[in-house]
Structure 1
Amino acid sequence: MTADVVDLCSQLVRFDTTNHGAGDARGERDAAEFCATTLAAAGIEPTILESAPRRANVVARVPGENPDLPALLIQGHLDVVPADPAEWSVDPFSGTVADGYVWGRGAVDMKDFCATVLAALSSLAATGRRPRRDIVLAFVADEEDRGEYGAHWLTAHHSDLFTDCAAAVSESGGYTYHVRAADGRTVRLYPVGTAERGTAHLRLTARGRAGHGSRRNDANAVTRLVDALHALAAHRWPVVLTPTVEAFLERTGKALGVDVDLHDIDATLDRLGDAAPLVESTVRNSVTPTVLSAGYKVNVIPGVAEAHVDGRVLPGTEAALLSEVDALIGPHVEREFLSRSPSVEAPVDSPWFDAMADALRSQDPDAVVVPYCLGGGTDAKAFSELGIDCYGFAPLWLPEGFDYRAMAHGVDERVPVDGLRFGARVMEHLLLNA
């Protein structure tokens, strides 16, 4: 009997897998056991690996028709960010199915994807079919924090499970994005993630001379820090067109019938209209001040002031970004890494990308499949360090006007029932043909 994708998603949402960060998460074990039970019912032998008590990861291998082909990794995370029930229309862990949607925290980030994968595998098992190649599955903990209990732990301690994986698919791509073309047509874009910006989270520390707030002080640590932060915030980072971003601009412009000038990105973004939000954050690096800390009394100038800044780094640009940060903050402010992760880039023109595009067009013949770069990051950063080409491909049909990008980590997170069924069919096609 085939497991229903809507029921699977609803049941997964009911597991409170909230990740508060800093190791404060426990619910992943229950969700992992559910995934393992579902896989076992489809004749797949799962293994649960705990990185710490109740921080559980599920790994399994599905034999393919041709074991000589490199394996495909399908990975998704089971943890979710916190949700305040007082802000929601429904209990965020109810998994309510109403008005054509599954409601709850994790419905689009990313228990929907886990459900579509489980449903697709269940369908293959029920009909006696096998994937074309071996499929390695990893449903992991801790993506919503640092991945230290999930993907990064697996790649550090169990890398042998992934040695023959040539490519991976996971969240943040393959969903419907409705855009108006120059001639008034509505074009259905499906962005597939082929790159991610890296992270350079920095602590800035300004040092100066402590003193009385009423007295002149040319070595005020607070002033030095504020000047440095203003310089960073006001800086216009140069345009850097990675292969993914350039391909997105050219292919999306062609689909929409608008001129793309790679030497005038701002004008090009204006012409792309509703498609611009998919790319505007990834034509440049960014450094954003997010945390400030200084002082302890209004009439005392402190000797030290600190800030945290969120740096996002395009492939191949970290050294240039850090050099520019140093020039902007000046000699009286020190910087150090709070955390650091590499950028990710997979080939755009590859059989993997073609297989994902074919799978989408199998259910939507008018789909315009384009590569794009994620502004943030995912567990692809862990798996890419093993030499695996990582793609953002969590197929989902979305109705026009549905603000999908506001759903992840948002209030009243929900996913369309029809979208889930579309995703399961697309994933089934990918498993059989990739």
Structure 2
Amino acid sequence: MADQTDVVELCSTLVRFDTTNRGNGDAVGERKAAEYVAGLLTDAGLAPRIFELEPGRSNVVARWPGSDPTLPALLVQGHLDVVPADAADWTLPPFSGEVQDGFLWGRGTVDMKDFCAMVLAIVADFARTGRRPRRDVVLAFVADEEDRGDLGAHWLVAEHPELFDGCVAAISESGGYTYHVPAADGTMVRLYPVGTAERGTAHLKLTARGRAGHGSRRNEENAVTRLVRALTRIADHRWPVVLTPTVQAFLERTGKALGVHVDLSDVDGTLARLGPAAGLVESTVRNSTTPTMLDAGYKVNVIPSVATAQIDTRTLPGTQDELLSEVDRLLGPDVEREFVANQPAVQAEVDSPWFDAMAAALRAEDPEAVVVPYCMGGGTDAKAFAKLGIQCYGFAPLLLPRGFPYRAMAHGVDERVPVEGLRFGQRVLERFLLG
């Protein structure tokens, strides 16, 4: 019988629960996976509770008592839902959870059932050996992160904030993994980026209005033309460099580790010298406004009176008001904007005991680890928990082999995680929780 306290078996089991979330309310649901997680936590002596705003969209929360109740509590949070996977595109079935050639395959192995499995394995191991984390830990396995979090983290924060009483910091996905980069002298450096910030999400809907008419006739009030011109101005705009504390620290510390000259007055030149390491930061030295959706008209010979578009807008901490002012200027008087989603950027302290503890845990397992802060270009449920004043970090440690395309795995075809990477991550998290 498989050992359901082993991190690899736990992750494999979690993958086999199809928790696909297509968005806009179209989801398989997290209930079965949540019941499995709650059962494991119960077996470890905890008292988990399942919370649902809608049937089947389940969140599991439990408080894990620490050995020193005077210390501030830590939130450890992960999501149980995954994005869709078309089995026809995959080498192995996406919900098989198979282990092959040293890798565990399946949708969610990177985003983020691997982290959930590590946490569950640690809880089980601590229960078996009588150990406890140093401080109280709130464990949250949530729903709906792959959509908007309205049935998961954002709902829990709004309706059940008492669950997170005492939590001052949180860890979750998108940080603490190996990133192999060449130094200036030709040696390889193992960077471990820890997420200390996230760009904000300010998705915009644009609406251009005009005068309907026949497609064969001249019309200076064509809504489609007005919208296309505005979109062209948006797409062509070059947003200025903004060096937030996280991004500046990343550039300085990574440059030092690689032996690369860092010139903060010439960020583009610095990025060119960083080589592959630039991939971790190039999307977060600026805001971005990317047109992604268009909708207008119903017949080729009819000029519509309304045309709409959506823009994926991402904002660095402290920049949203200035960005929106510039967007309004670029749109001009004939195009209106409104928010589709608006979640502010997240910024945690870079130089903090929390970051130091994460770095120490990584270096204890990999003495050559170079731990640097970084800003995530997208977003996570940290945007919900930050509303409670919690300092949110991306710290889901993994040891990755050189050449492994980790950043292409999340939401990608043939998603997989190295088995030894999972075991490494469990050891790092154990050290962090005991420290």
- Give the TM-score range, shorter chain: over 0.9
Cα distance between partner residues in 2 of 1:47 and 1:213:
60
Q: 2:127 aligns with which of 108, 117, 125?
A: 125
User: Is residue 407 of structure 2 the alignment partner of residue 413 of structure 1?
Assistant: no
- 1:326-341 residue pairs with structure 2 within 5 A? 326-341=328-343
SS at match of 1:52: coil
Q: 1:300 aligns with which of 296, 299, 302?
A: 302
- How far residue 2 of structure 1 moved from its aligned partner, in angstroms, is 8.1
Is 2:136 the counterpart of 1:134?
A: yes
What is aligned with 1:355?
Answer: 357
Counterpart for residue 162 of structure 2: 160
Give 5+ residue unaligned stretches, structure 1: none
Whole-angstrom CA distance in 1 between matches of 2:188 and 2:30: 40
> 2:260 is aligned with what amino acid?
V
Cα 1:103–1:74 change in 2 (3 A) is same
Indicate which of 100, 106, 111 corresponds to 1:109.
Answer: 111
What is the deviation of 1:26?
Answer: 3.5
CA contact (8 A) 2:280 2:374 kept: yes
The separation in 2 between residues aligned to 1:363 and 1:27, in whole angstroms, is 36
Deviation digits for residues 287-342 of structure 1 (CA, Å, limit 9, x no counterpart): 00000011111111111111011100000000001000000011111111111101
Aligned match of 2:434 = 432
Q: Distance in 1 between matches of 2:29 and 2:105?
A: 19
Aligned equivalents of 2:392, 2:343: Cα separation in 1: 15
Give the conservation status (yes or no) of the 8 Å contact 1:121–1:428.
no
| Cα distance in 2, alignment partners of residues 148 and 336 from structure 1 | 19
Residue type of the alignment partner of 1:51: L
For 1:310, give the aligned amino acid. D
**SS of structure 1 residue aligned to 2:27:** coil
Q: Percent of pairs identical after alignment?
A: 74
Report the Cα offset of residue 233 of structure 1.
Answer: 0.4
Q: Does 1:45 align with 2:38?
A: no
SS at structure 1 position matched to 2:26:
coil
Q: Which moved more, 1:243-252 or 1:89-98?
A: 89-98
TM-score by length of 1: 0.98
**Aligned residue among 24, 49, 52 for 1:22:** 24
1:176 aligns with 178
Say whether 1:224 aligns with 2:220: no
- Match of residue 255 from structure 1: 257
Residue aligned with 2:53, SS: strand
The structural deviation recorded for 1:71 is 0.2
C-alpha distance in 2, partners of 1:158/1:329? Answer: 40
Q: Give the Cα separation in 2 of the matches to 1:12 and 1:62.
A: 21
1:41 deviates by 2.0
Whether 1:387 aligns to 2:396 is no
1:196 aligns with 2:194: no
Question: Which residue number in structure 2 is paired with residue 13 of structure 1?
Answer: 15
- Distance (whole Å) between structure 2 residues aligned to residue 2 and residue 397 of structure 1: 22
> Match for 1:147: what amino acid?
G
Length, aligned pairs only: 433
Query: Deviation digits for residues 147-167 of structure 1, max 9, x if unmatched?
Result: 011101111111001120000
> Which of residues 72, 94, 97 is equivalent to 1:95?
97
TM-score between the two structures when normalised by the length of structure 2: 0.98
DSSP-derived class of the 1:263 partner: coil
Contact persistence 1:50–1:56 (CA under 8 A): yes
Q: Structure 1 segments of 4 or more deviating over 4 A?
A: none
Q: Give the unaligned 5+ runs of structure 2.
A: none
> How far apart, CA to CA, are the structure 2 residues paired with 1:27 and 1:202?
28
In 2, Cα distance between equivalents of 1:84 and 1:51 = 28
Q: Which amino acid aligns with 1:167?
A: A
Q: Which residue of 2 aligns with 1:236?
A: 238
CA gap of 1:215–1:116, structure 2 versus 1, over 3 A, is same
Q: Which amino acid aligns with 1:342?
A: P
In structure 2, the partner of 1:4 is 6
2 CA distance for matches of 1:45 and 1:288? 45
Aligned partners of 1:26, 1:164: CA distance in 2, in Å?
A: 33
RMSD: 1.0
Shift of 1:3: 1.2
Distance of 1:52 and 1:207 partners within structure 2 = 37
Partner of 1:320: 322
